[in-house]
Amino acid sequence: MLRILLFLLMGIVLAQNKINMPHDFSRHQGYIIKDGTMLWNEDWYAGNIFFDGTFENYPSTFGPYIESKYFVDIVGSSLIDTNQTLSYFDWVQGDYYLDNLDIGVNYSKNIRRGFLHGFKKRYAGAYNQYTLGSNAPNPIRYTYLGTYQSKTENNVIDISIGNFNSKFGLLDSLGTAFIDSRITSSNFAYRYNHDSLFITLNAHNFLQRYSSLYLESLNNGVRYLTRTKLVATINFMRSNGYDIAVITDINKRSLRSGTFKPISWNSLKILMENSSYKLSAGIINLINNNYFIADGNANYNFGRFNFRSSFSHNYFPSHISISEATSSEQKNQLTINTNWTINRSIIGTRIYFNSFKSEYEPISDQYILPKEGSNIWFSGFFEYEFIHDNRFSISYDKMNSKNFITDGIEDRVRFKLENQFKLFSGSMLVQSSISLSGFLNRYSDYVLDPVEKYPVRINREDMTKNTWLADFIISCRVKSLQIKYEINNLSNVIYDYLGDSNKDYNIQFNPYYPEMRRLASLSIYWKFLD
């Protein structure tokens, strides 16, 4: 149950390295904090579906299926179930013309599995910001995708194709701004294993027609982005618990608007891993230069204590629409994660060290980003399970940075109380959750441009105030039927109930998007088997 699991496992989560920061409570627009940095100009995956991160870096906008596969990957595309046909629909109705419909069917028989999925979203926004012109609110997002898998004793083939279309308005002084995006992503994966030989091949093709009209943008009009990515891994040795493999990565990207800007890069790495750690190192060829790259991770358990660490030293092409010529960007990262389980309690910490260095040549009259930067991100959380299925958790994040790596929120704190119980002789499961999130010691710094999707500097004192956000969710489930009621930004609901609507307490993380008022929604999820 996608939406239910997202409610339990996502948002500003305690145990993950990803933070979802929406610009509206329907999660149509927003940004992601990944490993202590804003996600932009970076490839990402939702299961087998590949996305080029030039203009698309917010997975939630594509609906609950893509969202769930990016954040928690709860639907294992590599698993073949027993013979069955599973179908579902998830319908959401809420304020400001919110109308979501998510449907899917999963068919499994013997060695084959197929999955079809569709998603439609209509949402005007609290200020009608997503509606184009004076028209009535129309759907702003369509998602269609299909996957097929065949598995034999030594071979697995996965084929996926998705179509992602959106057209919605943006706020500007003329009232005519919009974004029209049409994406097709096709993906092929092949896996072969025999004795100590294990081969994987992944081929991705990403096509995007990106059209925009925005007063503050220098690149209005239609642009065509094309991206191909081939990844091959050959595991040719297994000895004494160690695996040794060779990994090659071939990439080509082009952007066509008034001019044609192509770029290609390739890498070759040697990987060695066992059950506790993984290490890879090699060479990447980028813009006729060879650079050393390396990454690795370690995972150790000492009774109830778990220690995980990872590092990476890598090079990427700079954002294709921000630079006059193709250029490179160096990124370094070190992460440390610890968890300690004590009876009914879990205590954990996370530390992220990030740095970057860029060598791009800015386009004339284009915004200029700093060429170097770094940050340190510390996170701690505590979770305690009471009797009678009650759970309390608290998390705290501390960020130290003064550049575009992060969003200018130095301190994040969250309190959450969860409860569940059964009614009607155990036939109905009731779950509820109330949370309070604080975004403190904010400073006016960088946000992502709503069209170009790279960081831009802002200078807004009104964006520095401390912000608190309260949310409430309750759901009832009987067998395969689930009904859920959700309220975002309870403060506004309380003011409305008291008759003090003039005391609206609205939330804003990006000045290019309007403030977020409250949003109440009702959803119905129904699953059918055979």
Q: Show pLDDT as tens, one digit a residue, over the chain (530 residues).
A: 444 344 333 333 334 589 999 999 999 999 999 999 999 999 999 999 999 999 999 999 999 999 999 987 544 444 445 678 899 999 999 999 999 999 999 998 888 999 999 999 999 999 999 998 777 889 999 999 999 999 988 899 999 999 999 999 998 877 789 999 999 999 999 999 887 789 999 999 999 999 999 988 878 899 999 999 999 999 877 767 788 999 999 999 999 988 888 999 999 999 999 888 999 999 999 988 999 999 999 999 998 999 999 999 999 998 887 776 678 899 999 999 999 998 889 999 999 999 998 877 666 555 667 788 899 999 999 999 987 789 999 999 999 986 777 888 999 999 999 999 999 988 999 999 999 999 999 887 789 999 999 888 887 777 788 889 999 999 999 999 999 999 999 887 776 666 665 556 788 999 999 999 889 999 999 998 87
The string of DSSP codes covering 201-218 is EEEEEEEEEEEEE-TT-S
Per-residue b or e along 341-368, where b marks 16 or more CB atoms closer than 10 Å to that residue's CB: eeeeebebebbbbbbbebebeeeeeeee
User: Which helix (H) or strand (E) element contains residue 9?
Assistant: helix 2-9
Give me the residue label for tokens 């890498």.
267
Measured distance CA(240)–CA(299) in Å, rounded? 18
Give me the residue label for tokens 């698309």.
56
Q: What is the CATH number of the domain that holds 322?
A: 2.40.170.20
For residue 369, the enclosing domain spans 2-529
Number of domains making up the chain: 1
Angle at 179 between CA 175 and CA 183, to 5 degrees: 165
The H-assigned helical ranges of 289-410 are none
Measured distance CA(118)–CA(421) in Å, rounded? 33
